[in-house]
Structure formats: structure tokens, C-alpha cells
Chains A and B, each alone.
Chain A
Amino acid sequence: MSAIALLVVVSLAVVLTRGQPEVLDESTPQGVVQRYSSAVIDGDRATATSYLTEAATTSCRSYPDSGPPPSRVVLISATESGTSAVVKVSVIAAASDGLFGPSEYETEARFSLVKTNGKWLVDQAPYQLLTCTGSAVKQ
């Protein structure tokens, strides 16, 4: 029992004193994915769209918004080959409808990036992290 109490106290101390995620270099594919994902989670569509290629912005308009954004995105791997890159991530969505409190659902997803004018841009984003500017509504 005392071990469980100690575990709870240590967990609370660690989690409550935890800082912000480490910021990656923007010139790397994972750095771009980080900024894009943060913007989507924060609901900042303008910033998110600035990290998309023209093709990705257009194709995005044909998708509806895919529900609430995930709570957390964790890097699994990043592979570069010339002007294209693939970033695999673990997307964690939180749900508050668990039997005894909140629960999480983890899925693996991948970003495809291309290098345009020396800058990495997201060409294909997983459906959980799609964002649309809403310009399709104005047509």
C-alpha cells in the first residue's frame, strides 16, 4: 500500500513539474511535422496550412474535419531520401468515456514530406491531423 502511495506522489511530482516538449530544428522533416502538429492541436489553421504543400492544401478541402484533434503526437522514426521524407508518428487520442475515467487510443500514422525551395513541407498528413482552411465554404 505504501508503495502505491509513493508511486502516486512521485507521479504527481514528475507530471506537474514537467516542462514543454523539446523544440526540434525546423529545417528537418520531424521539426516541420512538430510545428504542423502543434498548430493543428492548438487549432491554429493558418499556421498549420503554412507547412502544407499546395497539393496538400487542395486535397484537404475534399475532407471534412475528422473530429477533435489528438492529445499527443510522438515521433517513431524519420527517413529522408533526397527531396522526400517519411515521418512515422504515434498519434494518441484521449477519450473521457472509459469505465473508470479517461482512456487513450494509440494509432500509428505517417507524414509524407517533400522539399520545396529548400524547405520541408507536408505533402500528406494522417487523417487525425488534417486541417482545412475553410476556403471551400466560400466558393
Chain B
Amino acid sequence: MISQAPATGPGARSIQLTLRRMILYALLFALVIITAVGLSGLLERLFSTGALLASGDVAGLARSLAFTLIGGPLTAVLWWMVWRRLDDAPERTAPAWAVYLSAVYAVSLITAVTALLTTASSFIGRPEPQWYGPLSAGLVWAGIWIWHHWVWRHPVKHPPGLEDVPAITGWVFGLAVAVVSAISALGGLLDVAVRGNASLIAGAPWWQPIVRALVWAVGGAGVWWWHWFRRGGRSVETTLGDVALVGAGIFAAGATALTGAGVVVFVLLRTALDRGGAMSELLAPLGTALASAAVGALVWRYHRVIGTRRSLATRRAGRLVTSGVALAAAASGIGVVINATLATAVSPLAGGGVRTLLLGGVSSLLVGGCTWWFAWNPLQQPGSADAIPPGRRIYLVVFFGISAVVALIALLVIGYRLFEFLLGGSSGAGLLDRVRAPLGLLTAAGLVAAYHFALWRRERARPPGASAGAHAIDRVTLVAPYDTAALSKAVRDATGAKVAVWRRAESGHQALPAGAAVPVEQALVDRVLTALADVTARNVLVVIGPGTGQPAPFEVIPVDMDGRSR
């Protein structure tokens, strides 16, 4: 017979605590939302009392009252309990507290900004703007956002984990709103400039939708600016910060710019070689495409410059992501070109459209191919195994894998069509027309897979060079009695590691006052770099001093930081 151990040990207690916190914060999150919905409903009724002639919405009022009068006091009680407990360090450091705060911060920011911008834009060109609902929701959620922003900045009770999440959420959301709205505003303006005012609605000036989009763009830019500059989003160098920078600032912006540029080239090619329809219809996508290319390229460029100040890994990731987006566009272009070429072999019953398809493929191939050439630089590949950056092999394997999966799916579709034909279902012309798209995809994916597989095999077979270990350091912590900007820059450039500088503050030695700059002699820089070249640890402590004698004493200490998250 197996007897069960009593659930009273330290492990069971820890599980109970975690479970309690999870339930507590989930309940608090739900209550905050319920109270906000109730308050918004009541506030909306307050705003609209002068405008409403009659109202029979008893159910809506009852719901708002119930949500406010039941949810509000319960939220207050639960918050009071949580706030009291946060004096204890284990409560403050609990992941549930950080997750709760990040979630409410994100939801309240997104809802408040969306509602307030809807309110502002509803006044433009609308004779009777319906602002009651958005304004009341915006005010209530703005209040919740201010409340949680204050908690996030609280000197004692802020969660020490996930501190970077609110700033990152804010700048990514602000940037997304600003970019989409700026593309809409600039695209509308360029469209009017290219095609004239094509609005069919009498009395609707062309500038109204543009100004509405502009309001959103300014609002989004404001949110981005606040979180990027004032709340330190720009200088967040955590893993999440780097992922957000590469994902939003380089990948999303790069895809936007490439798509826009591709459509611009497509429209220009159609104007020259495929004027089938009306000119106005042909030029319809041009305004938005120009705006996407311009705004996307601006954001992309800005984040690439910001990325150069981050760690070498972030810079490499930025370059690989750029290359990946461009390669996807170029491969898609090759597939469409093959598809269009095969379409010419089949005489259709009616219609055409092959020329349009081909020009689409050519434009995608042109834009994607040129960008990939500059980002990947296929003529200057690493010469030895040591010169191969760590992320590059992952990139090669990922691209090989994705293109192999795409090729497999295309091959299955071709096989299905082929067997359908052999079993007597269709004519030869019908078969070719139905396999041309997967055949194009198969060829493009096959080319991409073959190129990356060949490159991966060649790089794997390369012998290591002399400087093995030069790229092994991830983080260098520099402890010095004076400002060492030149030394930290030299270490960052030489090793690619993140460099943190700590100032010595021991009482037994004479430390220089804060801000005092002592020129770091080149000899010290060279000696530190030489010492670091022999180190293979991921984390290294470099201690300069004590004293500033000649030659300046220093010590390089490899540190084992396993178990630390960042």
C-alpha cells in the first residue's frame, strides 16, 4: 500500500502561495475591468443627459450600476489587501504581481489611448459627433493607467521583475499606432495629389480623413515618445527590449517598407507595360504604397541606428531579420515569375491577367533581391569558422527548414493534381494551369533551401581560426575608480559584449569625484583587450585599480553566472 505524504512541506506551501497569488491577481484584474466598464457606462449617461430626449435602456443602466456599486468596493477592498501585503519582499518579487501590473498597464494604456483618440477624431467633419462613449471610456481607463503607472514607479512596492515590460509595451503600441496612422494620412494626401479628389460623397472635403488619421498619428507618436524617451524604453537593454527592437523596429518596419516599395515598382511597371484598365484604377494603390515605403524605411533606419548601440548579438539579429524579410520577398517574386511564365503555355478560355501577375512577381523580386543583396552580402561570406556569428547558423537552419516545409506542401499539391489528372479528371492544359502556382513555389523554395543548406554545410566544414573564443563573451562588467567611456567602448567594439560600468566606492582608496574624467591611456585599453582575448567565459569582471598608477593595475575575472536570468 502506498501512503501519501502530507501536503504540509515547504514545496506544498510554495505551491499554495503561488496559487493564492494567481487567484488573487486574476480576481483583481477582473474586478478592475468590471469597475471600469461600470464607471464608463455611468459617465457616458452623465455626458449624454443633455443630448438624449428619451431613454428606455433600463438594462444598460442596471448593468452599469451593478458593475460600479459591486465591483468598485470589492476592487477597493482587494487592492487594500494586496497593497498591505506588498510590504513583504516575497510578495513584491512574486511573478504574479509583475504579470498583473504589466497586464493592467497594457490594457489600460491601449484602451485609454484608443478611446481618447476616437473622441478627438470624431469632432473632425462630423456634424453630430458621438463622443460620449469614447470620452467616458477614455477618462476612466486613463485614470486606471495613471494609477498603475504610479505603482510601476513606486520606490518600494514596484515589482522588481518585468520592470521593462510597461515601457516596452508603451513604445511598441505607440509606434504601431503612429506608423499605421501616418501611412494612412500621408497615403491619403499622396492619393489626392496623384489622382485628385475621388470622393463620391458630396460635401465631404478630401482633407477630413487625412486630418483624422493625423490626429491618431500624433497621439500614437506622443505615447511612443513618452515611453521611448521619458520612461527609458530607448535604453532598455534586456532580452525583451532587444526582441522588441528587432521585432517591431526592424522586422515589422522592414516588411512595411519592402511591401510599399514593391507595390510602387509594381504600379510603375504596370503604367509602362500593362495599361489594361482605367489610369485612376491603376494608380489607386500608389499613394498608400509610397507612404508605406517612406514611413517604414524611416522607422527601419532609425531602429537600425539605435541597434548599433546595442550588443553585437542585437546588431547581428537586426541584420539577419532584414535579410530574412528581403529574402522572403525575393523568393515570393521568383515563384510568381515562374507561375506567370507557365501560365503563358496554357491558352485560357477567357480573360488574361498574366501580364499583371508577372509584373507583380518582377517588382517583388527586384525590391526583395536588391535589399537581400545589401543586407546579406553574398560575395563577402565569413572566411573561417571563428568569423561566423553565432546567430548565422540558426538563421541558415531556420530558412532551410521553412523553405523545405513550403517545398513539401507545394510538392504534395502538385502530386494531388497529377494523380487527379492521371485518374481522368482533367485535361493536360487544365493540369498545367492548376500546378503552375505550386510549381513556382516549389522552385523558389527549393532554390532557397538549396542555397542555405549548401552554405550551412560549407560553414560547418570550415576549420577554426586562431582567435577562438574572441566572440565568447556576452557581458563585461567594468569596475573602475573613474569614468572609462573610451575603455568600455573599445571593449564593446572588440568583443561585441554588453558592457556595464560600476564605479569603485571603497573608503580605503581615493576615488575621484563623480563625473571626473581621467583619460584612459591607450596602453591600458590594449592590455585589457589582450587579456580579454584569452578569456572564454560568457561573463567577465574587469577590475581597474585600486589606484591610478602607471601602469594602471587591473584584473580580469571570468564569472560563472549560471542561474541568473539576465
Residues on A facing B (Cβ under 8 Å): 4, 7-8, 10-12, 14-16, 18, 21-22, 24, 30, 33-34, 37-38, 40-41, 69-77, 88-90, 92, 94, 96, 98-104, 106
Size of B's binding interface in residues, CB under 8 A? 50
Contact with B352, one of A37, A71, A88, A89 (Cβ below 8 angstroms): A71
What 10 A-B pairs are tightest by C-beta distance, nearest first?
Answer: A71-B353, A76-B430, A101-B360, A37-B350, A102-B360, A38-B350, A72-B351, A76-B426, A100-B364, A74-B433
> In this assembly, does B469 line the interface, its C-beta being within 8 Å of a C-beta of chain A?
no
A90 and B352 form a contact (CB under 8 A): no
Residues of B within 8 A of A99 (CB): 255, 259, 332
Residues of B within 8 A of A24 (CB): 349
Nearest-neighbour CB distance to chain B for A4, whole angstroms, equals 6
> In this assembly, does B61 line the interface, its C-beta being within 8 Å of a C-beta of chain A?
no
The B362-386 residues at the A interface (CB cut-off 8 A) are 362-365, 368-369
If the complex has contacts A11-B358, A41-B350, A71-B352, are A101 and B344 also in contact, measured as CB distance less than 8 A? no
A11 and B337 form a contact (CB under 8 A): yes
Contact with B363, one of A4, A10, A21, A101 (Cβ below 8 angstroms): A101
Contact with B334, one of A4, A37, A92, A94 (Cβ below 8 angstroms): A4
26 A-B pairs with CB atoms under 8 Å apart are A7-B334, A7-B338, A7-B341, A8-B362, A11-B337, A14-B341, A15-B340, A15-B355, A18-B344, A18-B354, A21-B347, A21-B348, A24-B349, A38-B349, A38-B350, A71-B351, A73-B351, A74-B429, A76-B434, A98-B360, A100-B333, A101-B332, A101-B333, A101-B363, A101-B364, A104-B339
Contact with B285, one of A75, A96, A106 (Cβ below 8 angstroms): A96
B347 and A100 form a contact (CB under 8 A): no
> In this assembly, does B407 line the interface, its C-beta being within 8 Å of a C-beta of chain A?
no
Residue from the set B354, B355, B361, B365 with the largest chain A CB neighbour count within 10 Å: B354
> In this assembly, does B262 line the interface, its C-beta being within 8 Å of a C-beta of chain A?
yes
If the complex has contacts A77-B425, A88-B426, A106-B434, are A38 and B351 also in contact, measured as CB distance less than 8 A? yes
A12 and B362 form a contact (CB under 8 A): yes
**Considering the chains assembled together, what is the distance between the CA atoms of A7 and B352 in angstroms?**
21
Task: Return the CB mask of B257-285 against A: 1 if under 8 Å, else 0.
Answer: 01100110010000001000000000001
Residues of B within 8 A of A96 (CB): 285
If the complex has contacts A8-B337, A24-B349, A76-B427, are A102 and B354 also in contact, measured as CB distance less than 8 A? no
Residues of B within 8 A of A71 (CB): 351-353, 356
A101 and B266 form a contact (CB under 8 A): yes
A21 and B350 form a contact (CB under 8 A): yes
Q: Which A residue sits closest to B431, measured CB to CB? A: A76
A30 and B349 form a contact (CB under 8 A): yes
Residue from the set B347, B350, B434 with the largest chain A CB neighbour count within 10 Å: B350
**Considering the chains assembled together, what is the distance between the CA atoms of A104 and B360 in angstroms?**
11
**Considering the chains assembled together, what is the distance between the CA atoms of A96 and B329 in angstroms?**
15
Q: Which B residue sits closest to A101, measured CB to CB? A: B360
Nearest-neighbour CB distance to chain B for A95, whole angstroms, equals 11
Residues of B within 8 A of A72 (CB): 343, 348, 350-354
Residues of A within 8 A of B347 (CB): 21-22
B351 and A104 form a contact (CB under 8 A): no
Residues of B within 8 A of A21 (CB): 347-350, 352
A100 and B262 form a contact (CB under 8 A): yes
Residues of B within 8 A of A22 (CB): 347
Q: Which B residue sits closest to A30, measured CB to CB? A: B349
B354 and A4 form a contact (CB under 8 A): no
Nearest-neighbour CB distance to chain A for B438, whole angstroms, equals 10
Residues of B within 8 A of A16 (CB): 273, 355
**Considering the chains assembled together, what is the distance between the CA atoms of A96 and B429 in angstroms?**
25
**Considering the chains assembled together, what is the distance between the CA atoms of A96 and B357 in angstroms?**
10
**Considering the chains assembled together, what is the distance between the CA atoms of A30 and B433 in angstroms?**
17
Residues of B within 8 A of A106 (CB): 433-434, 437
If the complex has contacts A33-B349, A73-B351, A76-B426, are A104 and B344 also in contact, measured as CB distance less than 8 A? no
B351 and A15 form a contact (CB under 8 A): no
**Considering the chains assembled together, what is the distance between the CA atoms of A33 and B348 in angstroms?**
11
B259 and A89 form a contact (CB under 8 A): no
A77 and B430 form a contact (CB under 8 A): yes
A75 and B352 form a contact (CB under 8 A): no
**Considering the chains assembled together, what is the distance between the CA atoms of A30 and B349 in angstroms?**
8
Q: Which B residue sits closest to A11, measured CB to CB? A: B341
Nearest-neighbour CB distance to chain A for B27, whole angstroms, equals 42
A74 and B353 form a contact (CB under 8 A): no
Q: Which B residue sits closest to A75, measured CB to CB? A: B349
Nearest-neighbour CB distance to chain B for A79, whole angstroms, equals 11
Nearest-neighbour CB distance to chain B for A107, whole angstroms, equals 10
> In this assembly, does B328 line the interface, its C-beta being within 8 Å of a C-beta of chain A?
yes
A37 and B349 form a contact (CB under 8 A): yes
**Considering the chains assembled together, what is the distance between the CA atoms of A112 and B392 in angstroms?**
57
Q: Which B residue sits closest to A70, measured CB to CB? A: B351
> In this assembly, does B336 line the interface, its C-beta being within 8 Å of a C-beta of chain A?
yes
Residues of A within 8 A of B338 (CB): 7, 11
A75 and B361 form a contact (CB under 8 A): no
Contact with A10, one of B285, B336, B341, B429 (Cβ below 8 angstroms): B341
Task: Return the CB mask of B280-320 against A: 1 if under 8 Å, else 0.
Answer: 00000100000000000000000000000000000000000
A14 and B344 form a contact (CB under 8 A): yes
B361 and A101 form a contact (CB under 8 A): yes
Residues of A within 8 A of B353 (CB): 71-72, 92, 94, 104
Q: A15-B344, A74-B349 are in contact. List 6 more A-B contacts (CB 8 A).
A: A4-B369, A21-B347, A72-B350, A72-B354, A74-B430, A100-B332
